[in-house]
Amino acid sequence: MHTPRSLNHIGISVPDIQAATAWYRDVLGCYVLVEPGEARNDGSHFGNVVKDIFGERFESVLMAHLTTQDGVGIEFFQFKEPANKAPKNNFEYERHGIFHFCLTAPDIEVQAQRIADAGGKQLSKVWTLYANKDYKAVYCQDPWGTVIELCTHPYSQFWSNLEPPINL
């Protein structure tokens, strides 16, 4: 049996790193660990690291590091060369890969409204998922199109010890 791994961080590409850092700090309550700074293909050690990760076309990126209350990191990237480009649809749930991340917010209605008031969107209604538990969820979007689910309870609490067990 393998030991479960901890989620360390997620990386999000944004068109305006200063605005995204401030929005995630002010609206979602994230802590800023490292303010936006530049990494370049300049022959330095870190420049060589990012060049290796992003490939031959990479020249420059702004990066910032934030964390949630439970220590999961959010790493922002604003690519300068080549520049970020917005997809036509950020909520392509039918494609492979990550299409959202989720934050725990006991005050789910208030948090969804804060997101909408701050330039994001509430994409769904606030739903109570089970008849016998007051577990709620809602899908939202930040101003740059990243899909954020909000749940009232931690993930392990949401999906374990359900009575009666559900069939998906």
What does pLDDT average to over the chain?
91
Same domain, 69 and 142: no
Domain containing residue 132: CATH number: 3.10.180.10
d(CA 168, CA 164): 13
* Number of structural domains in the chain: 2
pLDDT band at 167 (very low <50, low <70, confident <90, very high): low
Q: Domain residues for 156?
A: 98-168
Same domain, 5 and 47: yes
pLDDT band at 161 (very low <50, low <70, confident <90, very high): low
* Domain finish residue from 58, 84, 110: 84
User: Which helix or strand (DSSP H or E) is residue 108 part of?
Assistant: helix 108-117
Closest to 64 (Cα-Cα) out of 73, 72, 53, 55:
73
**Three-class DSSP category at 14:** coil
Same domain, 23 and 54: yes
Is the pLDDT reported for residue 168 higher than 60? no
**Three-class DSSP category at 21:** helix
Per-residue pLDDT at 165: 59
* Tens digits of residue pLDDT in 10-41: 999 999 999 999 999 999 999 999 999 999 99
Check residues 63 and 164 and name the one with the higher pLDDT.
63
